[in-house]
Chains A and B, each alone.
Chain A
Amino acid sequence: NAGVTQTPKFQVLKTGQSMTLQCAQDMNHEYMSWYRQDPGMGLRLIHYSVGAGITDQGEVPNGYNVSRSTTEDFPLRLLSAAPSQTSVYFCASSYASGTGDTQYFGPGTRLTVL
Chain B
Amino acid sequence: KQEVTQIPAALSVPEGENLVLNCSFTDSAIYNLQWFRQDPGKGLTSLLLIQSSQREQTSGRLNASLDKSSGRSTLYIAASQPGDSATYLCAANRGYALNFGKGTSLLVTP
Contact = CB atoms under 8 A, between A and B. Distances in A.
Interface of A: 31, 33, 35, 40-45, 48, 50, 56, 58-59, 90, 92, 97-100, 102-108, 110
A103 B101 contact: no
B97 A105 contact: no
Contacts, number: 62
B95 interface: yes
B31 A100 contact: yes
A38 B63 CA distance: 28
Given A35-B98, A45-B98, 4 more contacts: A43-B98, A44-B100, A59-B97, A100-B93
17 contacts: A31-B96, A42-B100, A42-B101, A42-B103, A44-B100, A45-B97, A45-B98, A48-B97, A50-B96, A58-B97, A98-B95, A100-B51, A100-B52, A100-B93, A102-B34, A105-B43, A105-B44
A102 B52 CA distance: 13
B49 interface: yes
Given A42-B103, A100-B51, A106 B43 contact: yes
